[in-house]
């Protein structure tokens, strides 16, 4: 494994029990499992943006949730900043958890409706930097809300008072307030209409520069991935079928599924 990689993933696998409803008659439920992620290996160097693209159900969210340790893989290895991330515990786990943050697809569901926006953005600081003074915590939250384009008046308001695009900005502020090394964004714009979605993508470009972010950007949309990524992984049925620098993959795709994705992008007729 290389020295410079921020994140190194080896042979990651996750299966789920198949519910009885989808089983053919006569099959025993206990013996049926479906592979959601089927042996995925890749690494991300500091400063890179890895786009992961693939159709619905191919395993993108399952992979993202394993990377941030929301769910445990069946097998495989993840090294983050040189640490054995899947075996980290105690103080090491707490320290590393703050260094990887996730931006969710559905900004509404991922936000606590009864919490004011200020408290919501302060919360990760309260958990991970408990010695920070309250005033400093508030200042950091206000600063971060400003960085994502929301005014100081948003601190005292509730999530339902914001539009979908603004709510995604809140989600991004919450993910960035700890100044993480790695941000995993799972379909950050698919719940938004196209023009609002492109504003969020532009914001991510700005923030990536400002905070020297390393990003994993997950989307079913090749144009979304192509807009931001330095590298791309094409995922199909739980596996990476093609990986490489974005220009290389777009210009000379090696796998038929990649070719199909590229062919499916509508050309703009003026």
Ligand X SMILES: Nc1ncnc2c1ncn2[C@@H]1O[C@H](COP(=O)(O)OP(=O)(O)OP(=O)(O)O)[C@@H](O)[C@H]1O
Site residues, ligand X (CB under 6 A): 16, 34, 36, 54, 56-62, 220
Q: Which residues bind Mg ion (CB under 5 A)?
A: 60-61
Give the one entry of ligand X, Mg ion, none that residue 120 binds, where binding means its C-beta sits below a cut-off of 5 to 8 angstroms depending on kind: none
Q: Which of 159, 7, 155 is closest to 84 using CA atoms?
A: 7
**Which of residues 35 and 132 has its CB atom nearest to ligand X in the complex?**
35
In the list Mg ion, ligand X, none, the entry touching 203 (Cβ below 5 to 8 angstroms by class) is none
The minimum distance between CB 42 and ligand X, in angstroms, equals 16
Residue with Cβ nearer ligand X (109 or 126): 109
The DSSP H or E segment spanning 153 is none
Compute the least distance from the CB of residue 14 to ligand X, in Å: 8
Q: Which among 50, 63, 53 has a CA at the least distance from the CA of 220? A: 53
- What's the closest the beta carbon of residue 146 comes to ligand X, in angstroms? 31
CA 136 vs. chain centroid, Å, equals: 28
Contact 180, 99 (CB under 8 A): yes
Q: Report the partner that residue 59 touches, choosing among Mg ion, ligand X, none (CB closer than 5 to 8 A by kind).
A: ligand X
Strand partners, 78: 9
Distance CA 67, CA 9 (A): 8
Compute CA distances 195 → 4, 43, 199, whole Å.
36, 32, 6
Question: Toward Mg ion, which CB reaches closer, 107 or 118?
Answer: 107
Q: Residue 165 binds which entry of ligand X, Mg ion, none, with Cβ cut-offs from 5 to 8 Å by kind?
A: none
Least CB distance to ligand X at residue 87 (A): 23
Unique residue bearing structure tokens 């995925």: 40
Choose between 5 and 12: whose C-beta lies nearer to ligand X.
12
Q: What's the closest the beta carbon of residue 15 comes to ligand X, in angstroms?
A: 9
Q: E strands along the chain, which residues?
A: 5-17, 33-45, 49-53, 75-80, 83-84, 100-103, 182-186, 214-219, 231-236, 239-245
Q: If contact means CB under 5 to 8 A according to the sort of partner, which of Mg ion, ligand X, none does residue 124 touch?
A: none
> Within 13 A of 31's CA, how many CA atoms are on the CB side?
4
**Considering beta carbons, is residue 54 or 124 the nearer one to ligand X?**
54
Query: Could you tell which of ligand X, Mg ion, none binds residue 220, using a CB distance below 5 to 8 A set by kind?
Result: ligand X
């Amino acid at each position: 494994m290389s020295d410079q990689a921020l994140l190194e993933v080896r042979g990651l696998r996750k299966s789920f029990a198949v519910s009885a409803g989808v089983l053919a008659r006569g099959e025993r439920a206990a013996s049926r499992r479906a592979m959601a992620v089927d042996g995925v290996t890749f690494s991300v160097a500091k400063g890179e943006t890895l786009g992961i693209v693939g159709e619905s159900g191919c395993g993108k969210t399952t992979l993202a949730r394993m990377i941030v340790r929301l769910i445990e893989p069946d097998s495989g290895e993840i090294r983050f900043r040189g640490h054995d991330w899947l075996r980290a515990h105690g103080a090491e786990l707490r320290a590393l958890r703050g260094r990887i943050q996730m931006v969710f697809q559905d900004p509404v569901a991922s936000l606590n409706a009864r919490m004011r926006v200020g408290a919501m953005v302060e919360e990760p600081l309260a958990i991970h930097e408990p010695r920070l003074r309250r005033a400093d915590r508030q200042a950091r939250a206000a600063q971060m809300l400003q960085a994502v384009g929301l005014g100081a008046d948003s601190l005292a308001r509730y999530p339902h008072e914001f539009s979908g695009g603004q709510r995604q900005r809140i989600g991004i502020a919450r993910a960035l307030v700890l100044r993480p090394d790695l941000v995993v964004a799972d379909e950050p714009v698919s719940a938004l209409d196209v023009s609002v979605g492109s504003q969020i993508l532009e914001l991510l470009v700005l923030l990536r520069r400002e905070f020297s972010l390393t990003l994993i950007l997950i989307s079913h949309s090749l144009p979304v991935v192509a807009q931001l990524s330095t590298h791309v992984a094409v995922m199909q049925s739980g596996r990476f079928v093609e990986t490489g620098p974005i220009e290389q993959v777009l210009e000379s795709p090696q796998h038929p599924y990649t070719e199909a994705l590229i062919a499916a992008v509508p050309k703009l007729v003026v």
